[in-house]
């Protein structure tokens, strides 16, 4: 990948190989899979290796070897490569956004935002190269110095999702790299090109060979061997709770640090004193932005009964006007779902909600017709009359489907918002400062927004959730550094005599 010529060839032929030890590697399996445009499935974006355990092993061997030199590169120097990566990504933003819309579907404005999130992460983590703070603290003994320092973990295995194809790999790779780790990343099978683009940029910015390796493929054949590999020292996974549970259990059996970021069923509370127009705008963006395919998507809207009717009418009216189509076309606001399986999930939940007695107010079906014939398009869908216990109010759909519920009091709203197994993002629209602060305190979630929808996290703050959304780790912010480093406590005794802690207390 280091040579630009090589890259061009890769792009033109659209046949990608694995990237291992600074070289393109044909998979041992000799198998490939296709990456197709979800807005037009006749458009083949590229073919990628369907790797197996041997490919994973090659990548881990390369990463393990590279770790011995990369860990010794001073952190500010490692950071300079990230800084340069940020600059190059900014230059390539338009091309990479275009590639991403083509493979993932979300509209160009949003894929630009996705690349921007990687740029932000690059600059933020580059800054960390001159911090990575530990602590110094007085020793209890004389002439003894005590400090704690951050050490890299080693080889980090990463399994990325398809909904933020560049941002989320950057949340994993950049902090890991600045801390001195080496990486093997398995991109999502729906959106591998954006990971290749990201790693290409790191390489062009001067990343030494073997420091980041890509093994493309499917979960059972490429993901599982990565999690199980004895020389992989930590695992970072973003995806479904179902797969996350398997990843976590496997990692636990090997006593491996493992960061899991999984589902959400994120509630927006709209109080009776809210700016309703603002809340409707927020709901549209939170529920149907990224076609509802965000872990932070607004999938439940809790309405105070005094404003429910008015809000609902306005939301339905605005939803029906949304332009759904190919994200590369100017004016389109909602792209396709990423693949056939996701659209089937949306259909399944529409059937479930109807059977549970919810009222379908908008959408509820696939979009056909000329503009939508070749892609996975689903109409933005609203259910009203939803009760807190219904499956449509409890389970993650990961599509453009939102459930409206009603409440009588602030206390009841908090109870409904918290009455789920997930705890990623939450939001409240109100002009009452006391309620806003109580919501910040009482909503059980890793993220709470006031007068904004449940989406829109910034990279320098911790990202992640409580309950079944995660297992306690955070991406973004300094939380990421905590995952990608391990603490070492160092004691330096300059007294020239044996001093015994807890014993030679000087009494």
Q: Does 280 bind ligand UN1 (CB under 6 A)?
A: no
Q: Does 410 bind ligand UN1 (CB under 6 A)?
A: no
DSSP 35-50: EEETTEEEEEEEEEE-
Closest CA to 356 of 307, 315, 392: 392
Write out the two tokens for 386: 């939803």
The residue from 103, 128, 295, 395 that is catalytic is 295
Q: Does residue 295 carry a catalytic annotation?
A: yes
Among 294, 304, 372, 376, binds ligand UN1 (CB under 6 A): 294
The residue from 261, 395, 396, 475 that is catalytic is 261
Pairing state of beta strands 298-304 and 266-270? Answer: parallel
Q: Does 127 bind ligand UN1 (CB under 6 A)?
A: no
Whether residue 391 contacts residue 356, with contact meaning beta carbons closer than 8 Å, is answered with: yes
> Interface with ligand UN1 by CB under 6 A: which range of 118-126, 272-280, 288-296, 410-418?
288-296
Shortest distance (Å) from residue 106 CB to ligand UN1: 11
Q: Does 208 bind ligand UN1 (CB under 6 A)?
A: no
Residue 216 phi/psi, 5-degree rounding, is: -90, 155
Shortest distance (Å) from residue 282 CB to ligand UN1: 12
Among 194, 296, 342, 381, binds ligand UN1 (CB under 6 A): 296
CA gap 240, 295 in Å, rounded? 9
Q: What is the DSSP letter of 222?
A: I
Q: Does 170 bind ligand UN1 (CB under 6 A)?
A: no
* C-beta closer to ligand UN1: residue 22 or 456: 456
* C-beta closer to ligand UN1: residue 346 or 485: 346
CA gap 290, 162 in Å, rounded? 11
Among 35, 163, 195, 236, binds ligand UN1 (CB under 6 A): 163
Cα distances from 350 to residues 208, 284, 294, 354, in angstroms, run 49, 19, 18, 6
Helix (H, G, I), strand (E, B) or coil at 407: strand
CA gap 371, 367 in Å, rounded? 9
Among 62, 353, 457, 481, binds ligand UN1 (CB under 6 A): 457
Among 215, 455, 480, 481, binds ligand UN1 (CB under 6 A): 455
Among 164, 383, 422, 484, binds ligand UN1 (CB under 6 A): 164
> Interface with ligand UN1 by CB under 6 A: which range of 54-62, 93-101, 290-298, 400-408?
290-298
* C-beta closer to ligand UN1: residue 163 or 430: 163
Q: Does 22 bind ligand UN1 (CB under 6 A)?
A: no
Q: Does 191 bind ligand UN1 (CB under 6 A)?
A: no
Q: Does residue 258 carry a catalytic annotation?
A: no
Closest CA to 405 of 296, 337, 505, 311: 311
Among 215, 295, 307, 413, binds ligand UN1 (CB under 6 A): 295
- By CB under 6 A, the count of residues binding ligand UN1 is 9
CA gap 453, 424 in Å, rounded? 13
> Which positions ≥6 away from 492 have C-beta within 8 Å?
144, 145, 146
Residue 108 phi/psi, 5-degree rounding, is: -55, -40
Residues with a catalytic annotation lie at 261, 295
Q: Which residues bind ligand UN1 (CB under 6 A)?
A: 117, 163-164, 294-296, 455-457
């Amino acid at each position: 990948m280091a040579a630009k010529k090589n890259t061009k060839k890769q792009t033109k032929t659209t046949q990608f190989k694995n990237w291992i030890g600074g070289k393109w590697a044909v998979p041992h399996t000799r198998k490939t899979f296709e990456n197709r445009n979800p807005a037009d499935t006749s458009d083949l974006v590229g073919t990628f290796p369907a790797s197996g355990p041997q490919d994973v092993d090659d990548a881990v061997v390369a990463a393990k070897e590279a770790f011995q030199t990369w860990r010794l590169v001073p952190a500010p120097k490692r950071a300079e490569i990230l800084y340069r990566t940020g600059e190059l990504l900014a230059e390539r933003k338009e091309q990479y956004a275009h590639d991403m819309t083509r493979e993932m579907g979300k509209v160009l404005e949003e894929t630009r935002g996705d690349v921007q999130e990687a740029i932000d992460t690059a600059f933020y983590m580059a800054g960390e190269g001159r911090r990575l703070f530990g602590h110094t603290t007085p020793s209890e003994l004389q002439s003894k110095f005590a400090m704690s320092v951050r050490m890299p973990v080693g080889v980090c295995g990463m399994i990325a999702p398809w909904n933020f194809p560049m941002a989320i790999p950057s949340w994993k790779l950049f902090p890991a790299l600045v801390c001195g780790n080496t990486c093997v990343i398995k991109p999502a099978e729906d959106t591998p090109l954006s990971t290749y683009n990201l790693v290409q940029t790191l390489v062009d910015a001067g990343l030494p060979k073997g420091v980041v390796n890509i093994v493309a493929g499917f979960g059972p054949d490429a993901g599982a061997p990565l999690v199980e590999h004895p020389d992989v020292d930590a695992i970072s996974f973003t995806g479904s709770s179902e797969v996350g549970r398997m990843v976590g259990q496997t990692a636990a059996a090997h006593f491996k640090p493992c960061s899991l970021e999984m589902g959400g069923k994120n509630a927006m509370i709209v109080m009776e004193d809210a700016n309703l127009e603002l809340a409707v705008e927020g709901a549209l963006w939170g529920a149907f932005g990224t076609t509802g395919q965000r872990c932070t998507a607004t999938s439940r809207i809790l309405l105070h009964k005094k404003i429910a009717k008015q809000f609902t009418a306005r939301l339905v009216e605005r939803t029906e006007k949304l332009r759904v189509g190919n994200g590369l076309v100017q004016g389109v606001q909602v792209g396709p779902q990423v693949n056939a399986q996701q659209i089937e999930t949306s259909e399944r939940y529409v059937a479930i909600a109807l059977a549970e007695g919810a009222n379908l107010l908008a959408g509820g079906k696939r979009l056909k017709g000329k503009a939508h014939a070749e892609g996975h398009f689903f109409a933005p869908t609203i259910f009203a009359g939803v009760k807190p216990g219904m499956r449509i109010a409890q389970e993650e759909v990961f599509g453009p489907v939102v459930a409206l519920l009603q409440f009588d009091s602030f206390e009841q709203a908090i109870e409904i918002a918290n009455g789920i197994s997930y705890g990623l993002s939450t939001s409240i629209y109100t002009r009452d400062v006391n309620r806003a602060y109580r919501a910040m305190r009482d909503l059980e979630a890793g993220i709470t927004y006031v007068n904004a929808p449940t989406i829109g996290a910034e990279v320098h703050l911790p990202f992640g959730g409580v309950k079944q959304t995660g297992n306690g780790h955070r991406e973004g912010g300094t939380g990421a550094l905590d995952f990608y480093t391990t603490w070492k406590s160092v004691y330096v005794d300059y007294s020239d005599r044996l001093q015994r802690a807890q014993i030679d207390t000087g009494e």
